[in-house]
Amino acid sequence: MNWLTETKIPVGDTARILFDWLQINGAWFFDWLSDTMERLIDAMLWVFQTPHPLIVVAVFVGLTWLFQRRWQTCLLVLLGFLFILNQGYWEETTESLTLVLSACVVCMAAGVPIG
């Protein structure tokens, strides 16, 4: 059983070679992906941070009513967003929400065609 631990598979070297190759040959793709993600994130931040926060809260409460049709859920969303506003974390919350939503968009864009 010593042969199993004595003979190491060169995972680190192989990974380094692969990443070096990707950096050299795939730089155009990663630059495009980075630019696209930056535009997507900036656009979503503009949507969430340009209007008055209470308008954004009203839109989210309206969407909650549209999807759930329960006043209790709408009240919870309203109170949650009002608490975030009260604590002064609106900008940080919209930035976090933007990152999560943009990650979901990218995952769905990659995952749906793959199946």
Entry field: residues in the chain: 115
On whether residue 64 sits in a domain, the answer given is: yes
- 23 is a domain residue: no
* Residue 88, pLDDT score: 95
Summarised one tens digit per residue, pLDDT across range 69-108 is 999 999 999 999 999 999 999 999 999 999 999 999 989 9
Is residue 60 situated within a structural domain?
yes
Which 3 state secondary structure label does DSSP give 26? coil
Residue 59 resides in a domain: yes
For residue 10, the model assigns a pLDDT of 86
- On the 0-12 / 13-18 / 19+ scale of CB atoms within 10 A, 98 is buried
Domain count, the chain: 1
Give the pLDDT mean for 51-59. Answer: 97
The average pLDDT across 56-60 equals 97
Establish if 73 belongs to a structural domain: yes
**pTM score:** 0.73
Say if CB 84 and CB 93 are below 8 A apart.
yes
In a domain, 17, yes or no: no
- pLDDT for position 7: 82
